[in-house]
Amino acid sequence: MKLAVATRNQDKLREIAPIFRDTPVRLVSLAELGVERRREEERLEGFSSFAHNALAKAQYFHDRTGLPMMAEDSGIRVDALDGEPGPRSKRYAPPEMQTEYGVDRANNLYLLRRLRDVPDERRTAHFHCAVALVLEDESRVFGGRVDGVILREPRGEGGFGYDPLFCLPDRGVTTAELTVDQKNEISHRGQAMRAARDWLSEVLGR
């Protein structure tokens, strides 16, 4: 089965692929399908929940391609910031910072700036992910969450997004210091993707 993934983030696609390694599902990206970027896509993630954003993206690209579509929306919620950045995680830093430093580095720098005066014991945070699957006649959304703390400086060369700042206290490492397989085993995205994979396997076996 060909399953399209509604992302142009190759790092994200590489992280997802191993989860579907031993299934009859073949993942294809929007780039492989030749789906051109449109300005209206920027409005797809305007909801206040990860689940709504994921489902909106999956439905939109399913309608454009006619293919079974998987989309995810993920981000980080920081307790000391009343749950920010949440669904705005990708666009958290001001535009001028993102232009100067690039998206990921700007978001990390901005988060550190917001938490500058927050003591270590109050720097708890949570990664969230929602994965939506839209097939021809049904759709589902699956969720995942992992808890950690925000460090005062980045560590690790792997991962992307906020991974270099997100520390797992029980392991003493950031999610940027994990291998892809280690990260998939415990991460918010890994949890949601495995649930989506298992449901899709059931559908294919009907």
Which residue numbers are catalytic? 73
Closest alpha carbon to 175 in 58, 74, 49:
74
Residue 122 token pair:
């109050």
Question: For the chain, where are the alpha helices, taking DSSP H only?
Answer: 10-16, 30-33, 50-65, 95-101, 103-114, 180-186, 188-205
**What span, in angstroms and rounded, lies between the C-alpha atoms of 92 and 19?**
28
- β-pair type (69-78, 2-5): parallel
Can you say whether the dihedral through the CA atoms of 97, 102, 103, 107 is positive or negative? negative
- Position 169, amino acid: P
Contact between residue 54 and residue 30 where contact means Cβ atoms under 8 Å apart: no
- Measured CA distances, 88 to 64, 74, 96, 119 (Å): 25, 9, 16, 24
202 phi/psi in degrees, rounded to 5:
-65, -45
